[in-house]
């Protein structure tokens, strides 16, 4: 097709469209209505609605985005069109014939300014759009009487995602996770020693790491002092002095076991060698006794430890110490025993903070009946914090923390919100304890509350700036 033919076809289509428009105008037909009415647009088939309310601003007569707070003219001298309150553009649903800003008690309401729809600290004396194309919201005289309360329309609540929940009485618990290591219970460690010089005749077949039971013979020894005290005790028994004599007390002072003394009372014979027995059941940690050796008073021959109960020493950071309490439950997971857990309780918080690590040692006692927990074994510790009682708590998202104060937004219903300063306490499990400023069952905003808070702060600031003006 030639260029000339295409040109004629285009001109013909334009002429046909113009003729169709002229015919439709003569026949009284109209184009399909827009999905939303423009304030200044009225259908030719319907009578225009009478504008109500005061003049809130003036717009360009040609519909260009040009506005004025007072009467103005275009560059060619034409006057701007006055826009009354009922003609203002609104994104909120409006009842038929409802004015955008109805008069209160027969008096017209005056628009003070236009504020940012997202609560940003930005206002305008004339209608305006933000960077996203949202219209600034008019603020009428009298609406800012309460600088703390913010009123939000249902449409805005839905668009911004504002959601509220009641404050509830609940337990606040959080878990403190720290590393630790297994240590022996100091109260369950014993040494085997003599209180006088002696000679070790024979050592039992017991080595380091073996388990022994209470009363099990560990070695046989000869001691001149013990033999002399035993002979004196037998003599006293034969003379009728019984067990009230001083010889028995001397044997006890020398550390002779009670069962050995009982054997002397029964046989009335002093043995050449005495059996030295284990004072408790446990594991042999140290063996220093050798056959034929001479031992002096106080020398350690064996060292035993009862491992049926052990300690776990955990290093808790300084900033977590306020959450740890004596008696708190703790769960211990050994790193070398995958899948095994042990339960215990905090029994002591050491009164010192490590200078280099800024941690405090916490002692946890737990049972070790199977003997799986070995000394110096690394473990992971989870300590449950919290007082155990119920407190008024809200979701963590409900609290706005500025660094100097904490604020929650109270939902008063019917789109009214009020910021309120509170004092917070413990945190854990996604909740915050409210110690002052809030009662149980009061509804607080947990989503998009920062928008309402920003709007409230802006409202208070504007009220402070305009408090000296006359409405």
159-187 pLDDT, tens digit each:
777 888 899 888 877 788 999 999 999 99
Higher pLDDT: 124 or 376? It is: 376
Distance in angstroms (rounded) separating the CA atoms of residues 14 and 109: 49
Region 231-236 average pLDDT = 88
Instruction: Enumerate residues 6+ apart whose C-beta is below 8 A from 439.
Output: 167, 392
Structure tokens at 34: 């827009």
- Does residue 224 have a pLDDT over 60? yes
Distance in angstroms (rounded) separating the CA atoms of residues 282 and 260: 21
CATH number of this structure's domain 158-170+389-466, picked from the four choices 3.40.50.300, 2.40.420.20, 1.10.10.10, 1.10.390.10: 2.40.420.20
- Does residue 131 have a pLDDT over 50? yes
Distance in angstroms (rounded) separating the CA atoms of residues 229 and 246: 9
What pLDDT is recorded for position 340?
A: 92
What pLDDT is recorded for position 157?
A: 67
**Band of pLDDT at residue 48, cut at 50, 70 and 90:** low
DSSP 339: T
Q: Measure Cα distances from 304 to 177, 196, 281, 291 in Å.
A: 33, 20, 8, 19
**Band of pLDDT at residue 122, cut at 50, 70 and 90:** confident
What pLDDT is recorded for position 143?
A: 58
DSSP 268: -
Structure tokens at 41: 């647009």
- Does residue 346 have a pLDDT over 80? yes
Structure tokens at 2: 């030639």
Q: Do 158-170+389-466 and 175-185+307-384 fold alike per CATH?
A: no
Higher pLDDT: 44 or 263? It is: 263
CATH topology of domain 175-185+307-384: Elongation Factor Tu (Ef-tu); domain 3 (2.40.30)
Give backbone dihedrals phi and psi of 183, rounded to 5 degrees, phi first: -130, 155
Distance in angstroms (rounded) separating the CA atoms of residues 377 and 330: 17
Select the highest-mean-pLDDT range: 36-40, 248-252, 325-329, 375-379: 375-379
Beta bridge partners of 421: 407
**Band of pLDDT at residue 425, cut at 50, 70 and 90:** confident
What pLDDT is recorded for position 30?
A: 45
What pLDDT is recorded for position 71?
A: 87
Tokens 């009363």 locate to 215
Within 101-194, strands assigned E span 111-115, 123-124, 137-140, 150-151, 163-166, 168-171, 175-184, 189-193
Per-position DSSP letters for 347-382, written without gaps between them: EEEEEEE-TTT-EEEEEEEEE-TT----TT-EEEEE
Distance in angstroms (rounded) separating the CA atoms of residues 387 and 174: 11
Domain ranges of the chain: 1-31, 158-170+389-466, 175-185+307-384, 195-298
Region 326-331 average pLDDT = 91
Give backbone dihedrals phi and psi of 232, rounded to 5 degrees, phi first: -65, -35
pTM: 0.52
Higher pLDDT: 369 or 101? It is: 369
CATH number of this structure's domain 195-298, picked from the four choices 2.40.50.100, 1.10.10.10, 3.40.50.620, 2.130.10.10: 2.40.50.100
60-113 pLDDT, tens digit each:
888 777 778 788 888 888 888 888 876 765 544 444 444 444 444 455 677 877
Higher pLDDT: 255 or 16? It is: 255
The 3-state DSSP class for residue 437 equals: coil
Instruction: Enumerate residues 6+ apart whose C-beta is below 8 A from 396.
Output: 427, 430, 431, 432
Distance in angstroms (rounded) separating the CA atoms of residues 133 and 407: 31
289-311 pLDDT, tens digit each:
999 999 999 999 999 999 999 99
Strand 211-212 relative to strand 406-413, pairing: unpaired
What pLDDT is recorded for position 391?
A: 87
């Amino acid at each position: 097709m030639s260029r000339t033919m295409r040109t004629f076809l285009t001109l013909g289509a334009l002429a046909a469209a113009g003729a169709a428009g002229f015919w439709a105008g003569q026949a009284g037909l109209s184009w399909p209505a827009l999905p939303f009415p423009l304030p200044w647009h009225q259908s030719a088939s319907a009578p225009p609605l009478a504008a109500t309310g005061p003049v809130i601003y003036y717009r360009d007569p040609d519909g260009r985005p040009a506005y004025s707070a007072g009467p103005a003219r275009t560059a060619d001298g034409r006057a701007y069109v006055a826009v009354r309150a009922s003609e203002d553009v609104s994104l909120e649903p409006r009842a038929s014939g409802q004015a955008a800003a109805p008069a209160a008690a027969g008096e017209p309401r005056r628009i003070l300014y236009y504020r940012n729809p997202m609560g940003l600290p930005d206002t305008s004396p004339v209608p305006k759009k933000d960077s996203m194309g949202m219209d600034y919201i008019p603020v009428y005289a009298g609406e800012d009487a309460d600088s703390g309360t913010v009123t939000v329309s249902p449409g805005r609540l839905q668009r911004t995602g504002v959601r509220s929940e009641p404050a509830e009485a609940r337990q606040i618990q959080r878990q403190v996770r720290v590393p630790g290591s297994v240590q022996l219970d100091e109260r369950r460690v014993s040494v085997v020693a003599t209180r006088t010089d002696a000679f070790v005749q024979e050592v039992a077949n017991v080595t380091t790491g073996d388990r022994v039971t209470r009363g099990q013979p560990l070695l046989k020894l000869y001691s001149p002092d013990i033999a002399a005290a035993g002979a004196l005790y037998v003599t006293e028994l034969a003379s009728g002095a019984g067990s009230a004599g001083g010889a028995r007390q001397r044997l006890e002072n020398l550390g002779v076991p009670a069962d050995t003394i009982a054997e002397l009372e029964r046989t009335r014979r002093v043995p050449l060698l005495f059996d030295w027995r284990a004072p408790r059941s446990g594991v042999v940690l140290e063996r220093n006794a050798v056959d034929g050796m001479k031992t002096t008073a106080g020398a350690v021959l064996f060292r035993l430890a009862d491992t049926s109960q052990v300690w776990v020493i955990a290093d808790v950071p300084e900033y977590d110490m306020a959450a740890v309490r004596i008696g708190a439950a703790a769960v211990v997971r050994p790193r070398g025993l995958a899948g095994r857990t042990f339960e215990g309780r905090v029994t002591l918080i050491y009164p010192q903070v490590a200078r280099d690590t800024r941690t405090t040692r916490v002692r946890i006692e737990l049972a070790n009946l199977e003997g799986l927990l070995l000394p110096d074994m690394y473990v992971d510790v989870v300590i449950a914090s919290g007082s155990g009682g119920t407190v008024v708590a809200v979701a963590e998202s409900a609290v706005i923390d500025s660094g100097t104060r904490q604020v929650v937004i109270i939902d008063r219903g019917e789109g009214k919100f009020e910021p309120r300063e509170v004092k917070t306490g413990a945190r854990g499990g996604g909740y915050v304890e409210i110690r002052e400023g809030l009662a149980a069952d009061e509804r607080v905003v947990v989503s998009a509350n920062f928008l309402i808070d920003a709007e409230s702060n802006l409202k208070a600031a504007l009220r402070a700036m305009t408090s000296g003006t006359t409405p």
